[in-house]
Amino acid sequence: MDQKKEKEHRIVLTGTPVSPGAVVARVCIQDNPGLQWQEPDQVRFDPGREGEMRDAFYRAVFQAREELACLSGGAGSGCEVQGEIFAAQGEILEDEELLSRIGQAILEERLEPESAIRRVFAAYEALFCGMTDPLIAARVADLQDVKRRLLRICQGGEGQHILSLKEEVILVARDLLPSDMASLDRAHIKGIITEMGGTNSHTAILARSLQIPAISGIQGATLRIPQGILAALDAMSGEVILEPDEVQQARYRKMQEQFLARRREEARYLSRPGSTRDGKVMGMGINIGSGEVSVPGEQYDFVGLLRTEFLYMEHMAPPTEEEQYEVYRKVLRQAKGKTVTLRTLDIGGDKALPCLALPREENSFLGSRGLRLCLARPDIFQTQLRAALRASALGDLELLFPMVGSLEEIFQARACVRKAMEGLAAEGFSYNPHIRMGIMIEVPSIALVADLAAEEVDFASIGTNDLAQYVSAADRMNPGMGPYYQGYSPAMLRLLERIFSAFAARHKPVCVCGEMAGDPQGAVLLAGLGARKLSMDPASLAGVKAALARVSLEEAKNLAGRCLRLRIQEEILGELVGHESF
């Protein structure tokens, strides 16, 4: 998604907006030598030094753990997400198999610690290469960051210093790892441009958490953008104007002021309950992708989506029942009595993982994914169900099955839960025998029989990203399919209304946890279509709460009614943009 064109006689570069905002400032090019280190030949040491070298490696591991623990516990500045990321990196250094492989290379092959670290980490990283799933891509960034930290310690280097700046700048880099983000001079860095990364990369997540406007995907940005040049960054449209004239500068600065004013106004709603202007309550949930709940309790009502895939990325072998139980127990404790919706393992096809040997499929999006994979691998599914059921005795936990396509799959999933319950009961474990079970509605076949599905489950969650992908028959990860992937098409709106109506008629709750729920305009539209529960990235809570508070439920319904009568997505988006509340 990168193009170069002339706009108002100025060079414009276009990328993917990943953190909203606007800024005008000079460019600072960040050289990332840590990301481009040359891999030297394998270096070996003389016989007799095996114990010395192994001990040196483990001292480096200990120091790296200490550094990550400090970064995790002291992120501060409102960046709880940063602490969560560094905590996940710390878990990499607890992987016994990874440490054992490095130690074995040192002892048996007499590889110097740096060479052993490079080799083993490279093997781990290679397993993730080419995978499009954003969670897996983030794991590659974590591996690179941990490797760089270990190598720096082995070389006797000091911790990363904060780049000292004297003026406000737009930082341009090939990519930024979490450690790079932690070392930013936040007082002076007002915008970020990267060549790599996407909306769910660590750079994007941290930029949103820090409220720094950011654009990714501008290929060759570090070479094409001159050091020190004045630039205007629009992280709503994804455009960067080089050497803007005075009129453009004034326009972008006004845009920046308006955006910041809106952010300040939205922040007033962050700790308030979600509701429309006329007091109709909207449940506000958060989506989390690790075993940490880092959001203050007054900001959210429930954990609408606990993605459990991260557990399977931590090690080269599937997590044990005990390992999973400890993580689920921890999340429930942090949620402090709030409902936690645990989505069972959602991988397969494009989300293959190193710890699971899965066959390659020609059409991965239509293959063995989500619940289908779990039903095909009862050993994995039973381990997760047992861990989740045991945790359910400690808090309000509910189960959510992903990628459900038929009623038959619902029946099979419930049978698997019963089997897990019977096994736990026989072994004397406690669990909630009345645990609620729900389905992700992402496949059109189950959406079209939502009335029948509502009779068989306790609740549903709508994954608007995948649902739009399957309704549109367009791969949302394929840039060439952008015009065809339509999240606000008339077909999507009618299908969503059908789902809300079917579950409401049976007094069963429906939560929307896809990207549409975290978009202020999308949230108002969803409320008008019938949604009463939304779950999103924590960074979206303030904007969504503020948008809902500006409209009455009747106004939202009228807006939805007008959109349902429109014929193409462009008209629907125009109706949303033109609404007075936005």
Residue entry with tokens 């019963």? 418
Cβ–Cβ < 8 Å for 111, 43: yes
H or E element that contains 401: strand 397-401
Q: How far apart are CA 182 and CA 86, in angstroms?
A: 10
Closest CA to 24 of 193, 240, 173: 240
Token reading at 283 = 């449940």
Work out the number of other CB atoms within 10 angstroms of the CB of residue 262.
14
Render the burial of 186-208: b for 16+ CB within 10 Å, e for the rest: eebbbbbbbbbbbbebbbbbbbb
The CA-CA-CA angle for residues 402, 403, 409, to 5°, reads: 90
* Angular region, 507: left φ>0, alpha ψ -120 to 50, beta rest: left
E-assigned strands of 21-161?
Answer: 22-30
What DSSP string runs through 312-335?
GTSSSSPPPHHHHHHHHHHHHHHH
Please report how many Cα atoms fall inside a 13 Å half-sphere around the Cα of residue 213, on the Cβ side.
28
Render the burial of 157-167: b for 16+ CB within 10 Å, e for the rest: eeeeeeeeeee
Crossing angle of helices 113-128/96-109, nearest 10°? 140
Closest CA to 68 of 83, 86, 94, 80: 86
Question: Beta strands 214-216 and 459-462: pairing type?
Answer: unpaired
Render the burial of 405-429: b for 16+ CB within 10 Å, e for the rest: bebebbebbeebbeebbeebeeeee
Q: How far apart are CA 478 and CA 238, in angstroms?
A: 18
Cβ–Cβ < 8 Å for 468, 495: no
Q: Which residues are catalytic?
A: 202, 513
| Dihedral over Cα of 318, 513, 330, 378: its sign | negative
What DSSP string runs through 271-310?
TSPPB-TT--B-EEEEEESSS---S-GGG-SEEEEEE-GG
Cβ–Cβ < 8 Å for 239, 16: no
Closest CA to 439 of 429, 449, 425, 431: 449
52 burial level (CB within 10 Å; 0-12, 13-18, 19+): exposed
